Structures are given as C-alpha cells and as structure tokens.
C-alpha cells in the first residue's frame, strides 16, 4: 500500500486514501486494547529447555545428542517429535524424511562454519 499525505494534517499515513474516513476509536476499544496488551504482557517466557526443543537449531542438536542412545535414529526422532507435540500441540516436521533433509543440511553447514 502506498503512503499518502493526509490532506488536513500534512502527515504521512496509510489510512489517508482519498475518500476513506478515519476510523473512530472509542473508549471501549481503548479499554479492550489495554486489556489485551496486559494479557499478552503477562505471558511468561519460555524456559531454556522449551526454547531449545521448539527452535530448529535446538531440535537438531537434541537429535544429534540423543540418536546414539536409541537403537535407531528414527526412534530418537519420534521421541523428540512426541515431546515437541506435547509442548506445542503440533509436530515440528511433517515426516522423518523431511527432518533428515534438514538434519543433513545442518550437519553440512556445521562442518563449513569455523568454530
């Protein structure tokens, strides 16, 4: 959307499209906005462990650490996916092969990057 100059104030704004009225903000709307902002601000931060399993890098590192503790790497992957689903309600990757593509790409990039 192009920015235009407001006719009366001379300020640059997105809503100042010719013929488009400015939205009226009521006290009720402001109070609803304040309540919503307070709700969002009250959400606690994720623990380091949760942040690790939710992030791409952390998930791949956890798999790399856990794969030797299971009889097959696939079992380690499904364990991590189950934990991710328990925390977030959804799977991180759609299937094991999709995950492997990311994992091998991560390994390749790890080898290239200087430590």
Token reading at 108: 């390749």
pLDDT digits (tens, 9 = 90+) for 41-95: 998 888 888 899 999 999 999 998 999 999 999 999 999 999 999 999 999 999 9
3-state class (DSSP) for residue 112? helix
Model confidence, pTM: 0.62
Distance between alpha carbon 26 and the CA centroid of its chain, in Å? 32
Q: How many CB atoms lie within 10 A of CB 54?
A: 14
Strand partners, 13: 4
pLDDT at 1 over 50: no
pLDDT digits (tens, 9 = 90+) for 15-54: 555 666 677 878 898 899 999 999 999 988 888 888 999 9
Q: d(Cα 48, Cα 61) in Å, to the nearest integer?
A: 14
């Amino acid at each position: 959307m192009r920015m235009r100059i407001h006719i009366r104030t001379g300020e640059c704004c997105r809503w100042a499209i010719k013929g488009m009225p400015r939205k009226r903000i009521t006290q009720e709307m402001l109070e609803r906005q304040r309540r919503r902002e307070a709700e969002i601000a009250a959400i606690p931060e994720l623990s380091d462990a949760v942040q690790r399993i939710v992030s791409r890098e952390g998930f791949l590192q956890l798999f790399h650490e856990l794969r030797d503790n299971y009889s097959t790497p696939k079992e380690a992957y499904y364990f991590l996916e189950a934990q991710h689903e328990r925390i977030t309600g959804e799977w991180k990757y759609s299937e094991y092969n999709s995950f492997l593509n990311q994992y091998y790409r991560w390994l390749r990039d790890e080898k290239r990057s200087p430590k």
